[in-house]
């Protein structure tokens, strides 16, 4: 048996998220069904981090154990052929040690959030960005974001359905920058709470609109109360960028 590390790209729009669901399609289900059709094996795919419905993946890391003798090229080509027309692609495959785990071996995760900040609505990027027509003050959002970086209790920015044992996390990076008509949020940490990135982005957007001040964000964080949250951003603009591992 070989344990394969997979790098996966996907458009989250038609899916209920990464994890298998009883009430709709998932990225995990698409890949597992492709694996079964290719190898005849009912293998389970494990990923570096689950994503919500509508969230996209630029380079999600996953792993799967297979008995069938394959080369990386054959595995990628075979799965990609069987995944069509689902918007999922296997970008790379490589054999790894039997004790390597996509989730538990991971030492860091990076996300990108995209806001389309213009009066005209999204056309080519519909479903891939959060459209905010009001001009956003990026400098004010960047100032507010600095209150969230570091080691904190993020209860305010945690979904009530979060299954993490502790709300305390260390946020390594939360930067805000303008990129043409878009505002980009670059977020990095070892791990995240459920809805943490979307909750932080939504609240920072209130600062950008002038409805909140940077100090309001600090106060919301210190409240350690979900009721103090400003806004939860939609999933459309969120991308899982990459997972980091010691060997990388």
**Same fold? 2-96, 108-244:** yes
- Average pLDDT over every residue of 72-98: 98
Assess whether pLDDT exceeds 90 at residue 21: no
Q: What angle do CA 124, 242, 158 make, to 5 degrees?
A: 85
Q: How many residues does the chain have?
A: 248
CA dihedral 112, 118, 121, 126 (to 10 degrees): -10
User: What pLDDT does 183 receive?
Assistant: 98
Which sign, positive or negative, has the C-alpha torsion 190, 195, 198, 203? Answer: negative
The model's pTM is 0.95
Question: 52 an active-site residue?
Answer: yes
At 68, phi and psi to the nearest 5? Answer: -65, 140
User: What pLDDT does 173 receive?
Assistant: 98
Assess whether pLDDT exceeds 90 at residue 164: no
Assess whether pLDDT exceeds 90 at residue 162: no
What is residue 157's three-state secondary structure?
Answer: helix
Catalytic residue among 11, 22, 52, 172: 52
- Average pLDDT over every residue of 158-162: 86
Query: Which helix (H) or strand (E) element contains residue 75?
Result: helix 72-83
* Residue that is written with structure tokens 């997979």 in the block: 6
What class has domain 108-244?
Answer: alpha beta
Assess whether pLDDT exceeds 90 at residue 247: no
Q: What CATH number belongs to 2-96? A: 3.30.70.580
User: What pLDDT does 34 receive?
Assistant: 98
Measured CA to CA, the distance from residue 2 to residue 93 in angstroms comes to 12
User: What pLDDT does 22 receive?
Assistant: 83
- Average pLDDT over every residue of 38-45: 96
pLDDT tens digits, one per residue of 115-154: 999 999 999 999 999 999 999 999 999 999 999 999 999 9
Q: What percent of the chain has pLDDT over 90?
A: 94
CA atoms within 13 A on the CB side of 191: 19
Mean pLDDT for the chain? 96
* Residue that is written with structure tokens 């008509």 in the block: 181
Measured CA to CA, the distance from residue 204 to residue 178 in angstroms comes to 14
User: What pLDDT does 46 receive?
Assistant: 97
Query: Residue 75: exposed, middle, or buried by beta-carbon count in 10 A (0-12, 13-18, 19+)?
Result: buried
248: confidence class by pLDDT, cuts 50, 70, 90: confident
Bond into 85 cis (ω within 30): yes
User: What pLDDT does 246 receive?
Assistant: 95
Taking Cα atoms as reference points, which of 34, 37, 17 lies closest to residue 25?
A: 17
Q: What percent of the chain has pLDDT over 70?
A: 100
- What radius of gyration, in Å, describes the C-alpha atoms of the chain? 19
pLDDT tens digits, one per residue of 171-229: 999 999 999 999 999 999 999 999 999 999 999 999 999 999 999 999 999 999 999 99
What is the residue extent of each domain of the chain?
2-96, 108-244
The answer to whether 199 touches 187, Cβ cutoff 8 Å, is no
Measured CA to CA, the distance from residue 107 to residue 85 in angstroms comes to 33
Assess whether pLDDT exceeds 90 at residue 65: yes
163: confidence class by pLDDT, cuts 50, 70, 90: confident
């Amino acid at each position: 048996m070989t344990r394969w590390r997979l790098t996966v790209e996907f458009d989250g729009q038609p899916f209920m998220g990464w994890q298998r669901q009883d009430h709709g399609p998932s990225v995990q289900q698409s890949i597992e069904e492709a694996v079964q059709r290719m190898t005849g094996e009912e293998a389970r795919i494990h990923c570096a981090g689950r994503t919500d419905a509508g969230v996209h993946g630029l380079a999600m890391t996953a792993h799967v154990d297979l008995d069938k003798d394959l080369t990386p090229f054959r595995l990628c080509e075979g799965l990609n052929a069987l995944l069509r027309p689902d918007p999922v692609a296997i970008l790379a495959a490589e054999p790894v040690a039997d004790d390597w785990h996509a989730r538990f071996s991971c030492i860091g995760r990076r996300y990108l959030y995209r806001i389309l900040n213009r009066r005209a609505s999204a056309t080519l990027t519909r479903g891939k960005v959060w459209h905010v027509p009001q001009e956003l003050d990026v400098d004010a959002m960047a100032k507010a974001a600095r209150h969230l970086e570091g080691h904190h209790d993020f209860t305010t920015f945690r979904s009530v359905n979060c299954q993490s044992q502790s709300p305390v996390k260390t946020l390594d990076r939360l930067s805000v920058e303008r990129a043409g008509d878009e505002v980009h949020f670059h977020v990095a940490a070892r791990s995240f709470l459920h809805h943490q990135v979307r909750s932080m982005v939504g609240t920072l957007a209130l600062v950008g609109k002038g409805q909140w001040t940077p100090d309001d964000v600090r106060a919301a964080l210190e409240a350690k109360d979900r009721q103090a949250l400003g806004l939860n951003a939609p999933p459309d603009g969120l991308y899982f960028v990459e997972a980091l591992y010691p060997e990388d």
